[in-house]
Amino acid sequence: MAEALDPALPPELDRLAQAVLSRACDLKLKLATAESCTGGLLASLLTDLPGTSHAFERGFVTYTNAAKREMLGVPLAILDGPGAVSKACAIAMAEGALAHSNGDMAVSVTGYAEGGPEQPAGLVHFACAARGKPTTHRVMLYGDVGRAEVRLRALETSLGMLMDQMLQSPSARAA
């Protein structure tokens, strides 16, 4: 059970995080995260599970556009064009996390936990990058379900993308 996030973490999310880390350990993969709207919750979760957290390499919390540019190398053209909450940005974040880490696989999350003008509440873009493989993207519209719920659902989607990518890797089929 995740220690610092207990009892706030739903048990199914805890189980999914354990499964992702166990799989990464089995495949000898190092994971990285690039987070915006989750504010480091995914990195915290992946380092909170005893016995498997060594599969986590590093996390980037890039809440501002400047942080996305400086830490992950997200091009200004993306931030000024489609914006920080877009497919292009999510992909650039995941690929930037790989480029700026020793990770084998990285997942990114960027979105609106709450709504505003031109910002649909619960709109979140994700990307998962793995060395030597195409980067995958997913967009979710969770709706106006509240900040905490959007963040929890984003954790679940991020973990699911990591697991999907690990299950599709050639070394995973041999494991």
- The single-letter code of the amino acid at 110 is T
| Range 11-174 classified under CATH 3.90.950.20 | yes
> How far apart, in Å, are the Cα atoms of 1 and each of 19, 105, 119?
12, 24, 35
**CA 73 to chain centroid:** 17
Q: How confident is the model at residue 172 (pLDDT cuts 50, 70, 90)?
A: very low
Residue 174 and residue 99: Cα distance in Å, rounded?
A: 27
Q: How confident is the model at residue 171 (pLDDT cuts 50, 70, 90)?
A: low
Please state the pTM of the whole predicted model: 0.92
Instruction: Tell me which residue has tokens 């190398």.
Output: 73
- Name the residue among 87, 162, 154 with its Cα closest to residue 129: 162
The domain segmentation of the chain, as residue ranges, is 11-174
Q: How confident is the model at residue 49 (pLDDT cuts 50, 70, 90)?
A: confident
pLDDT at 4: 54
Helix, strand, coil share of the chain (percent; to 5): 45, 20, 35
